[in-house]
Structure 1
Amino acid sequence: MTKAPGPAAGKVRAEALVERFRSRIQFAIAAAALAGGLALAGLDMPGAARWVWASGAGIVLAALLVEIVRALSQGRFGLDLLAALSMAGSLALGEELAGAVIALMLSGGQLLEAFAEGRARREMTALLARAPRRAQRYVDGRLEDAPLEDIAPGDRLLVRPGDTTPVDGIVAVREAVLDEAALTGEPLPRIHAVGDEVMSGAVNAGGAFDLVASRPAAESTYAGIVRLVAAAQASRAPMARLADRYALGFLAVSVALAGAAWLASGDPTRALAVLVVATPCPLILAVPVAIVAGVSRCAHRGVLVKSAGALETLGRVRTLLLDKTGTLTGGAPVVVGVHSAGRASREEVLRSAGSLAQASPHVVSAAIAGGARRSGLALSSPLDVVESPGAGLSGEVDGAPVSVGSFEHVAASAQRCAWADDHRASAEAAGRMTAFVGVGGRFAGAITLADVVRPDAREALAALRREGVTRIVLVTGDSAAVAHAVADGLGIDEVIAQATPAQKVEAVRAASGGGATMMVGDGVNDAPALAAADVGVAMGSKGAAASAEAADVVILVDSLDRLPEAVRTGRLATRIAIQSVLVGIGLSTAGMIAASFGLLTPLEGALAQEAIDVAVILNALRALSI
């Protein structure tokens, strides 16, 4: 429901707020203890200074132990245990100042991590905060303030300036100027003409306009976005879980090295210095920050990544499989040709057909009316319109009877002619989608429609090649002739035509031997293949809800150019995370070795390690700007 962001999203935000508050309190306590102890030491009160340092470290240690116990109860094992060992060791060995520094640096690192993740999530949480709750609905010519869940398809709504479009719908009466930046990443407002379908969640940047709801709130675009954002925020990256598993090994190595240093030197302080340098490991800091930053970056560009794991997989894709309709093509027919029977101009044929087509929500009618408007033709209001399902429309335009639809439908009210018979034969032979037009009891002309290749398809596929995709396969249920016509010139390696949903799944599985697979589609029949691929991508701006639910990634913009951007973001975010981890672990290991030889004191080790942690977190934040 769009009524509220949902329990999952609320839980995530609540946990984030608690974490930030806890981090701030602990940092304040640690900072006050360190500063107070230093002040007492300067006043020649070493006993009191050591007591203050120990108190600050003890409070942070107690809070850390609570977190460790909670994590273990949930089956998670983390490297915070090293921090607990080093602080406890500092207090036990009389290194209270080192313990206070460790406490300050640990709480400071947690505070910085919380800040980094909060900044990285900003674009995603903004979507949740903007979720509409109510709508202005027309009832018997009057406006009423209605709960969003009460809005049904067909309801007429008023969208005022500054309002968020509450549900998916059709623009009525006057054009709409919408700011869709939060949904698509496009910075400039977009103008939607009367009859255009618009997504929920956009902000009205122009004058008030009427919107006829096409879906209930729970099924609208924004409701799906809210659900997906909540799932993305609650997910943990596989790399982060892998880091948890490596924690035990790293802890064992650190303790073993500390023990060896103690045995070799007979000085337990060396063992403490080794543990301090390993506290806390950047393995648990860099990965979540970089991955969440990447997910947030994708959201800002209109690509909703459901989980952190999906972002990582995007960066490893080598084989791309695409559906045709709605993916490589626009998914809806458009007017590509107007033909006149000779008695009227092509503009008159299109104007008559477009005027009548305004009265029908059918996809072909919408295409004809839209084509007429884009041609700059002034359309008239039709009268006495009768729609014959699957056949066409009949009515009156400017006082003349007009019919639009199949040859048989128009022939029922129009005089047969040689032109109409010949055009029908040629259209059927070429497999063209054709709507015939009759005016005044005669065949006036015909309109050719087609589902055309997206203008950005060629460049998007070329960009994917540059991002590491080595094989591209078109998998479609259309005929071989149509499939090859679409694939021609796009650099597609293989075409699989007349594929059933089960055959699309088999195609995905057969391609899995060539590396990570990505399936892109938008229809209900694509949902099984999207789920079977290593990463499924749904064209969600106009696609079916089933495909968006089955997919790992949803493109909210009706454009393929965001796909290579998402792949690039996934690859670079993962690279930044791994880079931060390797550099941090390498520096930590070098520091532990130096400490084992007595080259670093516990205090120096604490300062060095926390400097490493701050560096890797700042490096991981680079994923926000990729």
Structure 2
Amino acid sequence: METPTPEGRLSKLREFWTNRQMVIIACVALAGIAVHLILCYVIHSGSPSYQIPLWVVLVFGGIPLVYELLKKLAKREFGSDLLAGISIVTAAVLGEYLAGALVVLMLSGGEALESYAVRSASSVLRALAQRIPSIGHRSQGGQVVDVSLSEVAVGDTLVIFPHDICPVDGVVTEGRGVMDESFLTGEPFQMSKTPGSEVISGAINGEFALTIRATRPAADSRYAKIMQVMRSAEQNRPRMRRLGDSLGAFYTPLAVLIALGAWGVSGQSSRFLAVLVVATPCPLLIAIPVAIIGAISLCARRGIIIKNPVVLETIATCRTAIFDKTGTLTYGRPRLTDQIVVSGADAVHILGLVASLERYSKHPLASAILKSATEAGVTLQEVAEISEPPGQGILGTVAGHTVRIASRGALAKFPVAGSDQIPSHAGGLECFVVIDDRYAAAYRFRDEPRTEGVSFIKHLNSRHGFKRLLIVSGDRESEVRYLAEQIGISEIYAQKTPEEKVTIVRAETAKARTLYVGDGINDAPALMSSTVGVAIGQNSDITTESAGVVIMDSSLEKVDEFMHISRRMRRIVLQSAIGGMVLSVVGMALASGGLLSPVAGAVCQEVIDVFAVFNALRAAIRPKELSDFGDATT
């Protein structure tokens, strides 16, 4: 693990204090307002003491906030929060302490909510770092010695104890067992391991100890590479302007200009104060957070966890949808559909030889073959030796026969008798069996698309405005293309590593805002690099930490529900914010003409706030329909 620099520690400490300060200010404001209301309406205090809690809020909460907003003003940043700062000062000058305290509460609460989204991104790195061990068990001179990962060199012999996490990439030299590689591959399979099998860092060992030979130092392991990509993805996370800031960018200067104009024309400073009181952007500061929190609550009740509230504001603007394949558009359970054997061969005998060898393969198709062998009642036999060189398939000796299982491309590299009997390509996944250097059989597999996949993909353009749909997958091109044809997607990227996925997602995000949907740890960097990342299911803690949205059920229908909830929330927010601003502008015009005093302006603004907030509360209410494709239920 990297040691943070003094500058990095200072930056993190400063960020921690700023986030904590916002929470403290929000709590002080809430407590002060509550005490004020109790003194005023429960105890019926007639002395000025009932104002003291509000003075405390304005001093200890308002002054720090106004100071921060003055720094923004110096940088020429004109957001809705800047007008809130002016409103705090104006409320204090006018003696409208309750209104000022409410603005303090809304401003600090919004900052605290936004800081939570930033902290959730950094927790991805912590989750990754916690999974990798800090030491390795190196075997030397007949003894096992614990050493730090930085001391592990290529060629070192390491022992992986039961249930340990593999610290480096390597090759098994002794022992037999299984490893869970789902955290890295995204495939929910237990991979059998025997001498000659490859192991990858981050995989979880099973019940039996394995001895491996390190093939890469820890810094160059697959797991370390993913961590590097994750850091880069976090640093290059898209910067998004909040909706309130976008609206406030023109509303704030407009309000200040109207106030100054009223003062300049009339010569009365009270009109300047009256306009600013009416202009207090509570529809932006209150209605928007209320609508967002309501939408988050509705999503949670539907099994959709919103980890970054910004996604609710931005998903409606996404125009490119990028999907992982396995486990996202498919169920992630490939099955053996066809066994095409040469004339006169025994299909059951061949399946027995293949399944015996595939027990030790890390390829996801191995599970499909083993399942078919189990269903056929085939007895597996012992494998004498095994090797699986990259790109050459798997080779081993089973019951005295040399058995090779390889892809079409890999098979062309070796002299194979009877190769003229190999069937033509039919799409989807396939592998070929060679026994004693003679072609014996072709196996075809299908990872079936989700039942709702076709209707979901078909409606994305017409109902949600997506212009481009892509599949970016680590699987073979033939299988990816087969699925794409089945569900109606024309653009595909196959056989891509996590690093390559990030490059593609960044390039697409530079052209238009992107939605990325995936389910494995290998999707985590891409999820962070997209505008909106949606993780389906709960297979990986790291994936769900890196996504802005987590769909608890493995369902595309829930993705559609999220988009509908977001679109409805955005519509409600615009109604509340723009409607409130329009009414505020009318009020400002009346105040500038002397028709509204500062006190009457404050009352007018409160009425506008009530309407805006009540409208925003609708975001938490479940509408009649939440999905609009296929046979989706509501």
Q: Which residue of 1 aligns with 2:464?
A: 468
Q: Which residue of 2 aligns with 1:218?
A: 224
Give the Å deviation of 1:585: 2.2
Per-residue displacement from partner, 1:292-331 (whole Å, max 9, x unpaired)? Answer: 99799699858988x94x7655313556688999987899
Which is worse superposed, 290-299 or 483-492?
290-299
TM-score normalised by length of structure 1: 0.65
Does structure 2 conserve the Cα–Cα contact (< 8 Å) formed by 1:349 and 1:444?
no
For residue 440 of structure 2, the aligned residue among 442, 445, 459 is 445
Give the Å deviation of 1:107: 2.5
Does structure 2 conserve the Cα–Cα contact (< 8 Å) formed by 1:23 and 1:107?
yes
Whole-angstrom CA distance in 1 between matches of 2:506 and 2:90? 55
Whole-angstrom CA distance in 2 between matches of 1:200 and 1:611? 56
Q: Which residue of 1 aligns with 2:551?
A: none
Does structure 2 conserve the Cα–Cα contact (< 8 Å) formed by 1:152 and 1:216?
no
Q: Which residue of 2 aligns with 1:18?
A: 21
Whole-angstrom CA distance in 2 between matches of 1:588 and 1:167? 62
Per-residue displacement from partner, 1:216-274 (whole Å, max 9, x unpaired)? Answer: 443347x7667757876x944253442342243342365168649x94xx986666444
For residue 458 of structure 1, the aligned residue among 438, 454, 458 is 454
Give the Å deviation of 1:102: 2.4
Q: What code does the residue aligned with 2:571 have?
A: R
Structure 2, unaligned runs of 5 or more:
213-217, 538-553, 627-634
Q: Which residue of 2 aligns with 1:511?
A: none
Q: Which residue of 1 aligns with 2:531?
A: 552
Q: Which residue of 2 aligns with 1:490?
A: 487
What is the SS of the residue equivalent to 2:246?
helix
Whole-angstrom CA distance in 2 between matches of 1:138 and 1:122? 34
Per-residue displacement from partner, 1:149-205 (whole Å, max 9, x unpaired)? Answer: 889999775686xx9999999998357699x9xx99xxxxx9743359999999x9x
Give the Å deviation of 1:436: 3.9
> Alignment identity in percent?
22
Which is worse superposed, 122-131 or 102-111?
122-131
CA RMSD for the aligned pairs?
6.2
Whole-angstrom CA distance in 2 between matches of 1:242 and 1:346? 66
Does structure 2 conserve the Cα–Cα contact (< 8 Å) formed by 1:237 and 1:291?
no
Q: Which residue of 1 aligns with 2:580?
A: 584
Give the Å deviation of 1:534: 0.3
Give the Å deviation of 1:461: 0.5
Which is worse superposed, 367-376 or 344-353?
367-376
1:397–1:278: structure 2 CA closer, same or farther, 3 Å change rule? same
For residue 243 of structure 1, the aligned residue among 230, 247, 254 is 247
Which runs of structure 2 are paired with 1:194-593 in the superposition (5 Å)?
Answer: 194-195=191-192, 215-220=221-226, 235-237=239-241, 239-252=243-256, 255=259, 259=263, 263=266, 272-287=273-288, 308=310, 312=313, 314-317=315-318, 335-341=336-342, 345-361=346-362, 363=363, 366-368=364-366, 370-373=368-371, 375-376=373-374, 379-386=380-387, 390-405=391-406, 416=417, 420-421=418-419, 423-424=421-422, 426-427=423-424, 435-439=431-435, 441=436, 443=438, 445-449=440-444, 454-455=449-450, 457-465=453-461, 467-469=463-465, 488=485, 490-491=487-488, 495=490, 523=501, 526=504, 529-538=507-516, 541=520, 551-557=530-536, 561=556, 564=560, 567-568=563-564, 570-589=566-585, 592=588
Whole-angstrom CA distance in 2 between matches of 1:603 and 1:21? 27
1:319–1:131: structure 2 CA closer, same or farther, 3 Å change rule? closer
Does structure 2 conserve the Cα–Cα contact (< 8 Å) formed by 1:65 and 1:84?
yes
1:313–1:159: structure 2 CA closer, same or farther, 3 Å change rule? farther
What is the SS of the residue equivalent to 2:441?
strand
1:423–1:91: structure 2 CA closer, same or farther, 3 Å change rule? closer
Whole-angstrom CA distance in 1 between matches of 2:445 and 2:312? 35
Does structure 1 conserve the Cα–Cα contact (< 8 Å) formed by 2:323 and 2:470?
yes
Whole-angstrom CA distance in 1 between matches of 2:286 and 2:491? 45
Whole-angstrom CA distance in 2 between matches of 1:460 and 1:238? 29
Q: What code does the residue aligned with 1:20 have?
A: V
Does structure 1 conserve the Cα–Cα contact (< 8 Å) formed by 2:394 and 2:405?
yes
1:464–1:81: structure 2 CA closer, same or farther, 3 Å change rule? closer
1:239–1:521: structure 2 CA closer, same or farther, 3 Å change rule? farther
Does structure 2 conserve the Cα–Cα contact (< 8 Å) formed by 1:101 and 1:607?
no
Does structure 2 conserve the Cα–Cα contact (< 8 Å) formed by 1:354 and 1:379?
yes
Per-residue displacement from partner, 1:50-95 (whole Å, max 9, x unpaired)? Answer: 8987676556553343122222234422445555555555655xx5
Q: Which residue of 2 aligns with 1:508?
A: none
Whole-angstrom CA distance in 2 between matches of 1:437 and 1:395? 12
Whole-angstrom CA distance in 2 between matches of 1:91 and 1:486? 64
For residue 597 of structure 1, the aligned residue among 591, 595, 598 is 595
Per-residue displacement from partner, 1:554-613 (whole Å, max 9, x unpaired)? Answer: 454498837645644553443343233124324544655676634853664575466567
For residue 106 of structure 2, the aligned residue among 88, 101, 109 is 109
Which is worse superposed, 148-157 or 15-24?
148-157
Per-residue displacement from partner, 1:409-453 (whole Å, max 9, x unpaired)? Answer: 699898x5xxx45522x336x6887644344x4857313346756
TM-score normalised by length of structure 2: 0.64
Q: What code does the residue aligned with 2:531 have?
A: D
Give the Å deviation of 1:352: 1.1
Does structure 2 conserve the Cα–Cα contact (< 8 Å) formed by 1:282 and 1:585?
yes
Whole-angstrom CA distance in 2 between matches of 1:348 and 1:409? 21
Which is worse superposed, 315-324 or 336-345?
315-324
1:369–1:86: structure 2 CA closer, same or farther, 3 Å change rule? closer
Q: What code does the residue aligned with 2:107 have?
A: Q
Does structure 2 conserve the Cα–Cα contact (< 8 Å) formed by 1:237 and 1:288?
no
